[in-house]
Amino acid sequence: MKYRDMLGFPKKKAKKKVIPEPPKPSVTEKLKEELNEWSDTTFKSLPKRWSGSGLTEFERKGGKDKVNEGPAYEYAKISKKIEKLKDELGKAVLEFSYSLRKKGLDDNADDLLELYSKTGITFGLRFKKFLRKLM
């Protein structure tokens, strides 16, 4: 008598043959099929743009990269200058309101800060939105 039988374990049954299912395609396989970049051969007809040494095919044929910077590059200096001047204006207004408070003109200092907050701060916010739309 076997030890398993004495403990009361059920007798082993014959194992059923399991037919393996074909493997499902992975997520990356599906993406490869959808994007179809892996089988793209359109670039093979173009001249080579890199090489180990010397000029490449592209450079030998006189090719130059055309880089179109767009409006962001053109307007960067001017927009930075406006931002810097806007910040200087804010500092000057705060300094002036501080000097008014020293002299006891608290109401005038409050009026100045309120005027700046209505015009200067809203200008800064609108200017940023304007630049985003422009670029």
pLDDT score recorded for residue 63: 67
- The mean per-residue pLDDT over the stretch 68-91 comes to 81
Would you state the structure tokens that stand for residue 112, as one six-digit string?
Answer: 């100045």
Q: Specify the range with the lowest mean pLDDT, choosing from 7-16, 21-30, 65-74.
A: 65-74
Q: Where are the domains of the chain?
A: 71-134
pLDDT score recorded for residue 19: 80
Would you state the structure tokens that stand for residue 2, as one six-digit string?
Answer: 């076997």
Distance in angstroms (rounded) separating the CA atoms of residues 45 and 42:
6
The percentage of the chain sitting over the pLDDT mark of 70, rounded to a whole number, equals 71
Distance in angstroms (rounded) separating the CA atoms of residues 122 and 63:
48
- Whether 38 shows a pLDDT value over 60: the answer reads no
Q: Which residues are CB-neighbours of 83 under 8 A, at least 6 positions away?
A: 124, 127
Distance in angstroms (rounded) separating the CA atoms of residues 23 and 57:
45
CB–CB of 43/88 below 8 Å?
no
Average confidence score pLDDT of the chain: 77
- The mean per-residue pLDDT over the stretch 96-102 comes to 90
CB–CB of 79/131 below 8 Å?
yes
Q: What pTM did the predictor assign?
A: 0.43
